[in-house]
Amino acid sequence: MLVAAAVLVADLAASELLSFIGFLTIRVIGDLLLLEVAILAILGGLVEFSGSIGVYEFRHLLFHTKEELSPTRHKDASKRALVAFCAALVLFSVLVVLALWE
């Protein structure tokens, strides 16, 4: 939630600055939110993928590392990815509300 709140505050500031140029504030916020939702969803997917068994097997095959997959490392990657996905979900719900309001 803290990530989503910080992004919303940054969006409001950017849209107010762009409103002086002639852009509509609500449209700028909507465009920024859509971009940020996509970035957060992709980032969450990459973080989740980085803790998967396929990545460990690929590192072992390519670099001959002796590192093994531990359930705690996979669980930590899932927790970090969950933060990005939850922030993307909150921002997407705000985007839907803005679209319906406009």
- What domain range is 79 assigned to? 2-101
Specify the number of domains making up the chain: 1
Rounded Cα distance between 28 and 79, Å, is: 31
| First vs last C-alpha separation in the chain | 24
Residue 43: band (very low, low, confident or very high) from pLDDT cuts 50, 70, 90? very high
Structure tokens at 46: 């990459």
83 three-state secondary structure: helix
CA distance 10 to 39: 15
The predicted model scores a pTM of 0.76
The confidence score (pLDDT) of residue 8 equals 83
Residue 66 or 90, more confident: 90
Q: Are 10 and 91 in contact (CB under 8 A)?
A: no
Task: Output the pLDDT for position 93.
Answer: 94
